[in-house]
Structure 1
Amino acid sequence: MSRPSILVTAADLAPEAVALLHDYKVIFAGKAPQPDELIALAKQHDPVGIIVRYGKVGEPIMDAAPALKVISKHGSGIDVIDQKAAAARGIVVKAAVGANAAAVAEHAWALILACAKSVPQLNDRMRAGHWDKATHKTIELSGRTLGVVGLGEIGRRVVAIGRAMGMRVLGFDPFADTAPEGVQLVELAQLFRESDVVSLHCPLTEENRRLLNRDTLASFKDGAILVNTARGGLIDEPALVDAMRSGKLYAAGLDSFETEPLPSPHPFRDVPNLILSPHIGGVSDAAYVNMGLGAARNVLAVLEGSSVA
């Protein structure tokens, strides 16, 4: 009797996670699986579970796998899964909440500091033979205001680092009953208006899609810094380009985009004070293992009703 299958929408999974799934046949979809390829694999193997690393999982894939019982995200962002379609089919959707929180928070701060200190630009100037000590001034963050949108596992870590840097911290989270120590809970309008640095750490929903648009960006403090390590759909990208080019924002750091991979050409590539990274905030050595284990445990919890150590 053949083992039931679990489909992984990637070319690999942490060995520790694969070991947990020893009672199942683990099918890898490849480095950049396309929707038609995932549908074909679902039809061929009829998986009982799908672990989502790359790509999206919608109705066609679900319908191609009648045995499917659980879709488990390799990370925390389940917006890439059609949750309504899953619920209609009795398929459980799970996320590895907090598994990559440290990695994403660290990357958010890497982008904040790179923006404030012009690290990429100064590196490029040095390599081109320049010495800008007499002409360049960076932004000192101590004493400035940090606005954190979303106070989950990642946002709270970003808050802690901001406080350690000597910053005043404002927070917004419609689901937070209490604020972390040293955080003033405010409405979004006040956060945008008063923050020197705005860092996004909220999930993408239909309600907050393009949360940052021409109107909200216009309400930012002049010379503010914006960082997004959450989801690209939170930002109206043409509006951000205009805000950058007009000088409204001092700099921005983005790790997620409305379309991924980022198309070429794209206006973002031509904005010099916009620092870009390819959605790798949650990709660290430790997070790779933690997310794999979290995703595998979530699959087993549904399939076997177990909590695997």
Structure 2
Amino acid sequence: MSKRPAILVTGADLAPEALQILRDFSIVYAGKTPRPEDLTALAREHDPVGIIVRYGSVPAEVMDAAPSLRVIAKHGSGTDTIDKPAAAARNIEVLAAIGANAAAVAEHALALMLACAKSIVPLDARMHAGHWDKATHKSVELSGRTVGLVGLGTIGLRLARICHAMDMRVIGFDPYAGNLPEYIDAVDLDTVWAQADVISLHCPLTDDNRKLLNTEVLARCKPGVILVNTARGGLVDEPALLDAIRSGQVGAAGLDSFAVEPMAAPHIFHGQPGIILSPHIGGVTSAAYVNMGIAAARNVVAALARARQPELAKQ
């Protein structure tokens, strides 16, 4: 019996449902915090035909260590940790599990938005310390406010529907989105900055939009704006955001992603009132874990089938 081709997983596990789809392959796990050099060594040892990316990055040297590699599938929607030009140059498909974690991330964005608007974290701390701030506290009512969504893919559209149901006005920017629901006003970025009471980021990170939210842009936003980022940390200039929080230009920020992950300690955001932090777990739910695993596994199988077709035609 011939040796089964290998699939390298940059993580410690996959959902059983995903493993069933990949039953004809040998699965190699890289662990929870794989470094590029670890992946390179495993690629050289096992020569995988596919890589499923959960954690860490996949640079060109990992690809070069696996001459049989034909597909790199993200266990999620963001592929910025994969060197896509290098993959294209080596005829390796790069695929994302589009929509597999949309419900989870949209819900987490909503949770951060509400936590910011309703001061949930500081009120909880005050209550546990024995205080009762009913006479002095006023939170923000989101009904009737404007939410500006940067990115109108599956996650942005799902959050838009939720916000519309909350009687919020929904505006959004996405140059690639079409056939939008009637309750979303498609606008340019300048309009988002000028009109949004809440800004929520749902776009991929590219060289063009890195540090999109910088000092100049934050100064153009409405005073007291709420910022939510469940996309990529590189979209936000972190020192600029800290300054804007301290000045009150940004009323509160709910952040699930950061420029460097895992977040180093100490970090400039640590201990800062008005900033709510979570460790990039917006898409981490039991259901999303299964959905992303299934989508990534299916992407691997489909890509390998496509790669096999030209080889069969030559025979």
Identify the TM-score tier after normalising by the shorter chain: over 0.9
Is 1:290 the equivalent of 2:291?
yes
What amino acid is the match of 2:127? Answer: M
What corresponds to 1:6 in structure 2? 7
1:162-241 matched pairs, under 5 angstroms: 162-241=163-242
CA distance in 1, matches of 2:18, 2:149: 32
What amino acid is the match of 1:89? Answer: R
Paired positions, count: 306
What corresponds to 1:67 in structure 2? 68
Query: How far did residue 250 of structure 1 move?
Result: 0.8
What amino acid is the match of 1:286? Answer: A
What corresponds to 1:92 in structure 2? 93
Task: String of CA shifts for 1:207-246, please: whole Å, max 9, x gaps.
Answer: 1111110000000100110000000010111100100011
What corresponds to 1:244 in structure 2? 245
What corresponds to 2:267 in structure 1? 266
CA distance in 2, matches of 1:294, 1:275: 31
What corresponds to 2:111 in structure 1? 110
Aligned CA-pair RMSD? 0.9
Is 1:38 the equivalent of 2:39?
yes
| SS at structure 2 position matched to 1:251 | strand
| SS at structure 2 position matched to 1:90 | coil
1:20-35 matched pairs, under 5 angstroms: 20-35=21-36
| SS at structure 1 position matched to 2:27 | strand
Query: How far did residue 302 of structure 1 move?
Result: 1.1
CA distance in 2, matches of 1:15, 1:233: 33
CA distance in 2, matches of 1:69, 1:293: 19
CA distance in 1, matches of 2:294, 2:177: 27
| SS at structure 2 position matched to 1:79 | coil
CA distance in 2, matches of 1:305, 1:299: 10
What amino acid is the match of 1:267? Answer: I
| SS at structure 1 position matched to 2:80 | helix
1:101-140 matched pairs, under 5 angstroms: 101-140=102-141
Query: How far did residue 303 of structure 1 move?
Result: 1.1
Identity of aligned residues (%): 64
Query: How far did residue 179 of structure 1 move?
Result: 2.5
| SS at structure 1 position matched to 2:121 | helix
TM-score by length of 2: 0.96
| SS at structure 2 position matched to 1:211 | coil
Query: How far did residue 178 of structure 1 move?
Result: 3.3
Query: How far did residue 274 of structure 1 move?
Result: 0.1
What corresponds to 2:54 in structure 1? 53
CA distance in 1, matches of 2:180, 2:24: 43
| SS at structure 1 position matched to 2:170 | strand
| SS at structure 1 position matched to 2:227 | strand
Query: How far did residue 282 of structure 1 move?
Result: 0.5
Task: String of CA shifts for 1:122-180, please: whole Å, max 9, x gaps.
Answer: 11111111111111111000011110111110000110011111111111101123322
TM-score by length of 1: 0.98
CA distance in 1, matches of 2:99, 2:220: 32
Gap regions ≥5 residues in structure 1:
none
What amino acid is the match of 2:200? Answer: S
Would you say the 8 A contact 2:36–2:59 is kept in 1? no
CA distance in 1, matches of 2:25, 2:9: 12
What amino acid is the match of 2:25? Answer: Y
CA distance in 2, matches of 1:10, 1:283: 14
Gap regions ≥5 residues in structure 2:
308-315
| SS at structure 2 position matched to 1:245 | helix
CA distance in 1, matches of 2:188, 2:303: 38
Query: How far did residue 305 of structure 1 move?
Result: 3.9
What corresponds to 2:16 in structure 1? 15
Task: String of CA shifts for 1:10-64, please: whole Å, max 9, x gaps.
Answer: 0000010011101000001111111111111111101000000000001110011
Would you say the 8 A contact 2:117–2:226 is kept in 1? yes
| SS at structure 1 position matched to 2:48 | coil
What amino acid is the match of 1:299? Answer: V
What amino acid is the match of 2:194? Answer: R
What amino acid is the match of 1:39? Answer: T
CA distance in 1, matches of 2:101, 2:177: 20
CA distance in 2, matches of 1:115, 1:177: 30
Query: How far did residue 304 of structure 1 move?
Result: 2.2
CA distance in 2, matches of 1:28, 1:304: 23
What corresponds to 2:311 in structure 1? none
Query: How far did residue 296 of structure 1 move?
Result: 0.2
